[in-house]
Chains A and B, each alone.
Chain A
Amino acid sequence: MSKQYALDDPSVVVVVGSGAGGGTVANELAQKGIDVVCLEAGKHLGIKDFVNDPGVMDAKIGWHDPRKGAGVWLCKTVGGTTVRWAGITPRFQAHEFRSLSTYGQMDDTTLLDWPLTLDELSPYYDKAEDKMGVSGTHDIPPSAETNAYKLLRAGAKKMGYREFTSERTAINPEARDGRPGCRQIGFCFSGCAIGAKWSTLYTEIKKAQSTGHFEIRPESMVIKVEHGSDGKVSGVIYADRDGNIHEQKARAVCVAGNVVETTRLLHNSASTQFPQGLANSSGHLGRNYMRHMSFSTFAIMPGEVNFHRGTRMSGLLFDEQQHKPERGFAGGYLIETVGGDPYLIAQSVGGWGESATEYLDNYTRLGGAWVTGEDPPQSSNRITFDDSEKDQYGLPIPVLEYEYHPNSMAMYEHGKKQCEGLLTSLGGRRPVSTLGVGGGCHNMGVARMSDKPADGVTNRWGQTHDVSNLFVSDGSLFTTSAAANPTLTIVALAIRQADHIADRMVRHEL
């Protein structure tokens, strides 16, 4: 079963992080017989540890180390943020890989075309959907139509929309791949208590363990990537649960700590040879940080909705996803179902007094919509470090600098009108939209892929331009954000990257 590798074994690939990117690339490599050590900062919980209580679960799985600036909603646990995610898995559209060519130059952005196309990624989208059990693909039925979905669809029809679906969710509608079908429990964000939702915790990690080519080391916080005088990485330094420092030697390293930790690790690995941070000769590391234009709309509907019954998110509306510049902005957005526990709703509707309380008093009649839209990259949106303050690992505190671009504000105004219209068309009253709800779930950029080394940190395989055996394997790779929820694309890129790494090993290039 699970293997153990020696710290001085230089033949292993080290994967930093065990979420959508790290967990997937680790398992794909192990399946090919490549030895992998996966270092994860968080604890190794099991499904039995998951309870239907968002507060309790946030304390168990959330990432609560000190950070400044814009908030992020991430996990520190084996499985990473796939333990908490909603499971929505739409593909990107062809033009979203060519944002600069399609939208043209836009002021104060660093728009760039991806160094790969939808056609090249499509076979990997296919594999990712099969792996994750995405509803409506690979003979998997659509997800069951929840109250929240039926409401969204009825409003969509009133608005003249046509492209709505309850497909494209990585939650088993029926038993598949050793996991049960969804029971409509309604606590997806607290960790799926039956394992119906895809999470690397009990899919990729478990499968990798059964190959005999994989070791997961939980509570292992990687603080530095080491390199030799040849400019290649040679291992990583990490702190174990007791704070003891170890070095794990490595043949290659894949970094997948989600954007904040990926940036911090490479930043902290600066050396005389790489004075701006490892693999940062371009100066782009930590920049072009994107997190989608996101907001929620809620309204008090004329009848019961009970959106707490069933999956947190269970349907999609694609009509506004296209690039239609006549709307007054570039790119598009997706409208998705949403629900939440009372605390989440109180946060989302905002305000106080009788006006806020009326929403909560009508909790069972609330209807909602959530939007994720393309967020153009800006060099000034970035992750920096406050060297005056250190955390428990002795690392500088990350500072997330983020401002919406005017394009995102124009998109928000449009989306708000549409979502409020959708709910009021069904008799909803007091619609309230709040920009930023859900912001910090989708984190992208900071080590973006580019054809030219001067334009980004990584190439079309996620290999860093500067260091041939150092890879980035998470959403940090995204050249631009597209509109869609990012996890499916992270998984597709990770599968593709594993193929590439294996191929280069066979050719003795790694």
Chain B
Amino acid sequence: MAMQLYPHKVDQSVYADVMDSILSAAASDPQLQASLDQAVSELDAATGGDFLAAGENLQLMAMNGMAKQPWFAAIQGQVMPRLYNNPVIWKHIGYPGSSVEYGGYKDRGFNDIDWLPADN
């Protein structure tokens, strides 16, 4: 599900790490665990019994049908920070993270935009 939420062309282990982290958080968060249980049972039911084994199109169709359910937003809200605070994703999209140890961008391109109209 994490992969279909934000399908970046990165090593799939990133998504597995995200889900592992959510599962361990759920161990002490019964509400989150309930959302996860509901997600698994509803997604499995909508994809012939095994969401993970279903094709991409079927997975997407199932998710589209459930995007308005509260558990969907709850899980998306857990995936989003874990995925977008992950250095593997950062590297993939070109975000370098912390900059203070390099002296910021004052001498490293904070004003190097070069494709704007000439009169700017």
Query: Are B80 and A343 neighbours in the complex by a CB distance under 8 Å?
Result: yes
By the criterion CB–CB under 8 Å, are A356 and B113 in contact? no
How many angstroms between the C-alpha atoms of A471 and B8 in the bound complex? 53
Given known A-B contacts A342-B84, A426-B116, A310 and B97 have beta carbons under 8 A apart: no
What total of chain B residues lie within 8 Å of the partner, measured CB to CB? 41
Nearest residue in B to A359 (C-beta to C-beta)?
B93
Which residue of A55, A153, A184, A352 contacts B67 across the interface (Cβ within 8 Å)? A352
Instruction: Give which listed residue, B98, B117, B120, contacts A52 with CB less than 8 A.
Output: B98
Stretch at the interface among B18-26, B29-37, B45-53, B102-110: B102-110
- Residue pair A52, B99 in contact (C-beta under 8 Å): yes
B93 lies within 8 A of A183 (CB): no
Write out the residue numbers on chain A whose beta carbons fall within 8 Å of the beta carbon of B108: 309
Q: Which of A133-166 contact B (CB under 8 A)?
A: 144-147, 150-151, 153-154, 157-158
A353 to B67 Cα, complex, angstroms: 11
Please state if A346 and B80 are interface contacts (CB–CB under 8 Å).
yes
* Number of CB contacts from chain A to chain B under 8 A: 133
CA distance A153 to B117 in the complex (A): 11
Which one of B67, B95, B116 lies within 8 Å of A363 (CB-CB)? Answer: B95
Cross-chain contact A363 with B93 (CB below 8 angstroms): yes
Cβ-defined contact, B95 with A55, below 8 A:
no
**C-alpha gap A353/B76 in the complex (Å):** 11
Evaluate whether A187 and B100 lie within 8 angstroms (CB atoms) in the complex, with A342-B95, A363-B93 already known. yes
Distance of A182 Cα from B107 Cα, bound (Å): 11
> Which residues of the other chain, B, contact A306 by a CB distance below 8 angstroms?
109, 112-113
Q: Which residues of A contact B115 (CB under 8 A)?
A: 302-304
Assess whether A154 is in contact with B117, with CB atoms less than 8 Å apart: yes
Q: A185 interface residue, CB < 8 Å from B? A: yes
Contact of B114 among A158, A303, A342 (CB under 8 A): A303
- Find chain B residues with CB under 8 A from A187 CB: 98-100
B77-102 CB contacts (< 8 Å) to partner A: 80-81, 83-85, 89-90, 92-100
> Can you name the residue of chain B whose Cβ is closest to the Cβ of A150?
B113
Asked if residues A183 and B106 are in contact (CB atoms below 8 Å), the reply is yes
On whether the beta carbons of A357 and B89 are closer than 8 Å, the reply is: no
Which chain A residues lie closer than 8 Å to B7 at the CB level?
353-354, 357
A429 CB to nearest chain B CB (Å): 14
A150 & B116 in contact (Cβ 8 Å cutoff)? yes
A4 interfacial contact with B, CB 8 Å: no
Q: Is A193 close to B, CB under 8 A?
A: yes
Tell me which of A158, A302, A356, A361 contacts B93 (CB under 8 A): A361
Q: Is the CB of A341 within 8 A of B120?
A: no
Q: Is B111 an interface residue (CB 8 A)?
A: yes
B85 CB, min distance to chain A CBs, angstroms: 5
Q: With A303-B114, A342-B89, A364-B93 given, is the CB distance from A186 to B81 under 8 Å?
A: no
Question: CA–CA, A354 to B8, complex, Å?
Answer: 8
Interface flag for B11 (CB, 8 Å): no
Majority-rule SS of B interface residues? loop
Given contacts A150-B111, A342-B93, A352-B67, contact A182 B106 (CB under 8 A): yes
Who on chain A is nearest to B86 by CB?
A: A342
Q: Which residue of A lies closest to B76 (CB)?
A: A352
B67 CB to nearest A CB, Å: 7
Could you tell me if A309 and B109 are in contact, using CB atoms closer than 8 angstroms?
A: yes
Task: Say yes or no for A409: interface residue by CB 8 A criterion.
Answer: no
Please judge, given known A-B contacts A146-B110, A150-B111, A342-B93, whether A309 and B105 are in contact too, CB under 8 Å. yes
Interface size class on chain A is: 35 or more
Interface string of A272-308 (1 = CB under 8 A from B): 0000000000000000000000000000001111101
A306 to B108, CA, bound (A): 11
- Considering the complex, give the chain A residue whose CB is closest to the CB of B119: A157
Q: Which residues of A contact B94 (CB under 8 A)?
A: 363-364
A153 CB to closest chain B CB (Å) equals 6
- Give the distance in Å from the alpha carbon of A342 to the alpha carbon of B115 in the complex: 23
Question: Contact at B104–A186, with CB atoms within 8 Å?
Answer: yes
The docked-state distance in angstroms from the alpha carbon of A429 to that of B43 is: 33
**Identity of the chain B residue whose Cβ is nearest the Cβ of A50 in the assembled complex:** B100
Query: Given contacts A145-B111, A346-B80, A352-B5, are A150 and B104 in contact (CB under 8 A)?
Result: no
Decide if A153 touches B84 in the complex (CB within 8 Å).
no
B6–A147 touching, CB < 8 Å: no
State the CA gap A183–B100 with chains docked (Å).
8
Nearest A-chain residue to B113, judged by Cβ: A147
Bound-complex Cα distance A345 to B98 (A) = 17
Cα(A144)–Cα(B98), bound, Å:
21
User: Which A residues touch B40, using CB under 8 A?
Assistant: none
A360-378 vs B: 1/0 string, CB under 8 Å? Answer: 1111100000000000000
Q: List 22 A–B pairs whose Cβ atoms lie within 8 Å, in order of A's numbering.
A: A52-B99, A53-B98, A150-B113, A153-B120, A157-B117, A157-B119, A158-B117, A185-B104, A185-B105, A186-B99, A306-B112, A306-B113, A308-B96, A309-B109, A310-B105, A353-B4, A353-B60, A354-B7, A356-B5, A360-B89, A363-B93, A363-B94
Please give me the 10 A-B residue pairs with the lowest Cβ-Cβ distance, nearest first.
A183-B104, A303-B115, A52-B98, A185-B104, A310-B110, A309-B105, A343-B84, A184-B110, A342-B84, A363-B93
Given contacts A147-B111, A309-B112, A342-B93, 4 further A-B contacts (CB under 8 A): A147-B112, A183-B100, A356-B5, A426-B117
- Chain A residues at the B interface, C-beta cutoff of 8 Å: 51-55, 144-147, 150-151, 153-154, 157-158, 182-187, 193-194, 302-306, 308-310, 341-343, 345-347, 352-354, 356-357, 360-364, 426
